Amino acid sequence: MKNKIPKVSRKTGKTKDPNRYPKGWNRSKVARVIAHYENQTDEQAIAEDEAAYSIPAFTMMQVPKALVPQVQKLISKRAG
């Protein structure tokens, strides 16, 4: 496997982040989300999961894995 040399910004001299993030996300936001879930107790995780099922504006449903890409496209189109 070939080691890639990280790119360095000419302006700041800092290593450029090779990752691509969705709009509104960056390395620090991802790190905060990871830290949140890694530091959660089992009880907190269960409470968070149960709370997700109690929001009346949303529905949780099982979708066969083969259909997930099509469902994601439909949701994307609907969301704009």
Tell me what pLDDT residue 14 has.
76
Is 1 a residue whose pLDDT tops 60? no
How far from the centroid of its chain's Cα atoms is residue 64's Cα? 21
Tell me what pLDDT residue 6 has.
65
Tell me what pLDDT residue 64 has.
97
Q: Is the pTM of this model over 0.75?
A: no
Phi, psi of 36 (to 5 degrees): -55, -50
